[in-house]
Amino acid sequence: MSTGLSLFIIILTLANIIACYVLIKWSSKQKANEAAEGNVTGHTWDGDLQEYNNPLPRWWLWLFYITLVFSLVYLLLYPGAGNFKGLLDSNQMNDYEQEMSEAKTKYGPIFAAYTKQDIPTLAKNPTAMQAGQRLFLNYCSTCHGSDAGGARGFPNLRDKDWLYGGDPVAIKASILNGRNGLMPPMGAALGSGGLEEVTAYVLNLSGRKADPNFVEAGKQRFDSLCAACHNTGGTGNMALGAPNLTDNVWLHGRSEGAIKETIAKGRKGIMPPHKEFLGNDKAHLLAAYVYSLSQ
């Protein structure tokens, strides 16, 4: 906030408080044309319903003054008056960090104890897996689904088909460091005829119906353009995250149209790194939970 704006806010806030004080002071005194206490004010409703000027108790007036004092004390202690941070130096970021560290001291040891066990052992521990499921529902289910079955573009974690490896180390590495998958667009290199042929070959790899006239030509194109990543015969490469194309598992859609689009336009898949966010212990437990799903 600029100094000018800060000053403007301070002046406006204080002026308001002073104005409230003046208003209370002014309105607590009787005006010349007003009815005295205990008298009728002269207001009449429904013909005969009259209003008396009955005084409020004095402490009621003090309540007003107390609110003014309260607001001044508040402005002194907490942020509110422009750039002034308040004497308590309280802000939401501090509060958040404090609560997080409290939670860490409270729950940290539970996760730390799990980290001492290796992932396959942990995956057989029902209590740990309940906790793992809760973590998964909190942090992972938004993309991978509550049942870890994935969605289009987000891998299914329940099957035995792994892009980057399904051993405990690989799963934990995926969670901690994230993954960046990239399928480059091949549409321009293949041309429309080439696209038909490669699509037919890819369908054929999973044993699905494809035009036999295209399959053979598709294989040749595949070997020269695609095999570098997807391996000869389309078995994939876990080091690159290049999917196995022979298992009828389709990350970006199983229909012929979807496969064509994948080849022509390419795909991008990002698993964000969670090392900073979750820390090693939670990632360990999550890795065990994910590992348990496909056992």
Partner 1 sequence: MGTPSDQIENSSSDFYAKHKKVYPREVHGLFASLRFSGVLTLLGLYYFIPWMRWDGHQAVLFDLPARKFYIFSLTFWPQDFIYLAALLIIAAFALFFFTALAGRLWCGYACPQTVWTEVFLWMERWVEGDRNKQIKLDKSPWAKNKLILKSTKHTLWLLFSAWTGFTFVGYFTPILELGASLLQFTLGPWETFWIIFYGFATYGNAGWMREQVCIYMCPYARFQSAMFDKNTLIISYDDDRGEPRGSRKKSADPKELGLGDCVDCTLCVQVCPTGIDIRDGLQYQCIGCAACVDVCNEVMGKMKYAKGLVRYTTENAIHGIPSRILRPRMFVYMSLLIFLSAALVYSMLIRLPLELDIIRDRNALYRETNEGLIENIYTLRIINMDEQAHRYTLTAGGIEGVKLILAKKDLYAKSGEVITIPARIQIDPAYLKKIGYDIEFILTATDNSELQVIEKGRFIGPLK
Residues within the interface to partner 1 (CB under 8 A): 27-30, 36-40, 52, 55-61, 133-134, 137, 141-143, 145-152, 154, 248-250, 253-254
> What is the smallest separation between the CB atom of 80 and partner 1, expressed in angstroms?
24
Kindly tell me which of 254 and 267 has the beta carbon lying closer to partner 1: 254
> What is the smallest separation between the CB atom of 52 and partner 1, expressed in angstroms?
7
Kindly tell me which of 111 and 154 has the beta carbon lying closer to partner 1: 154
Structure tokens at 131: 């906790």
Taking the C-alpha atoms of residue 247 and residue 258, their distance in angstroms, rounded to an integer, is 16
The one-letter code for the residue type at 40 is: V
Kindly tell me which of 21 and 60 has the beta carbon lying closer to partner 1: 60
Taking the C-alpha atoms of residue 189 and residue 185, their distance in angstroms, rounded to an integer, is 8
> What is the smallest separation between the CB atom of 61 and partner 1, expressed in angstroms?
5
Q: Contacts for 82-89 with beta carbons within 8 Å, 24 or more apart?
A: 82/1, 82/5, 82/6, 82/7, 82/8, 82/9, 82/10, 83/1, 83/3, 83/6, 84/6, 84/10
> What is the smallest separation between the CB atom of 30 and partner 1, expressed in angstroms?
6
Kindly tell me which of 190 and 259 has the beta carbon lying closer to partner 1: 259
> What is the smallest separation between the CB atom of 233 and partner 1, expressed in angstroms?
20
Cβ atoms of 160 and 112 within 8 Å: the answer is: no
Cα end-to-end distance, the chain, whole Å: 56
Kindly tell me which of 75 and 135 has the beta carbon lying closer to partner 1: 135
